[in-house]
Amino acid sequence: MILKNYIISLVLFFGLIANNVSSQEKNFQLKQGDLLFQDVDCGAFCDAIEKVTFGYNGAKFSHIGIVAFDSIAKNFIVIEAVSAGVKKTSLKDFLNRSHDKNNNPKVVVGRLKDDFQKLIPKAVSYANDLIGKKYDDVFDIDNDKYYCSELIYKIFYQANKNKPVFELQPMTYKDPDTKNYFKIWVDYFNELKTPIPEGEPGTNPGLISRSQKINIIFKYGFPDGWNGE
């Protein structure tokens, strides 16, 4: 397996293990359009992402998906962009990717504020239309491929009549301590034979989790870095 696929697979599919369900989790009710922020344990690749981004309450989020109601299965699923492309994933499989020390999913739920709830039906419809699209391995906001947070940015952008709901920021692939590129990124982009897109506009799960357009309403477990209750 080439390095690109190996790294992405680690980020997005690491560790499907059993999960303990707390009473708090049993009482919590997801809604269509909820955003699931996830701390995935994947070694150097996630470490590089998490060192240059931070999420709500300091959480180290490296992945995001959107909750949708599956009319065929009659239950909630997650639409996400992974190495296989944009796809539907069962809620159980999504939650079971990584766990905290108490064996609870390192997943936090964000819900759009009331002023933006009206965008959810169209955003979810757009997300469904994009299922099968390829993964954006070069993180180009303008191509017809999608990485996890780009998918969320784009579907709400379209639902809001081509006006941003979430923001973009210049991306960096440099270690803030050394000011040099992380080796994992150098190897990754060398294999792709493409320049590192330093400074190009993009987004990430941590940035979206800190958006003023959403409320963080629930946590299944404690993501790394979390400094709240």
pLDDT digits (tens, 9 = 90+) for 185-225: 999 999 999 999 999 999 999 999 999 999 999 999 999 99
Phi, psi (degrees; rounded to nearest 5) at 176: -65, -20
> pLDDT averaged over the chain?
89
Residue 41 has pLDDT above 90, yes or no: no
Question: What is the average pLDDT across 132-150?
Answer: 97
Q: Which CATH superfamily is domain 3-12+32-219 in?
A: endopeptidase domain like (from Nostoc punctiforme) (3.90.1720.10)
Question: What is the average pLDDT across 109-135?
Answer: 98
Instruction: For residue range 165-179, list pLDDT tens digits in order.
Output: 999 999 999 999 999
Question: What is the average pLDDT across 74-84?
Answer: 95
pLDDT at 13: 35
**Phi-psi category of 73—alpha, beta or left, where left has phi over 0 and alpha has psi -120 to 50?**
alpha
Instruction: For residue range 81-103, list pLDDT tens digits in order.
Output: 999 999 999 999 999 999 999 99
pTM of the model: 0.88
CA 76-146-166 angle, to 5 degrees, is 75
**HSE value, Cβ hemisphere, 13 Å, CA-based, for 26:** 4
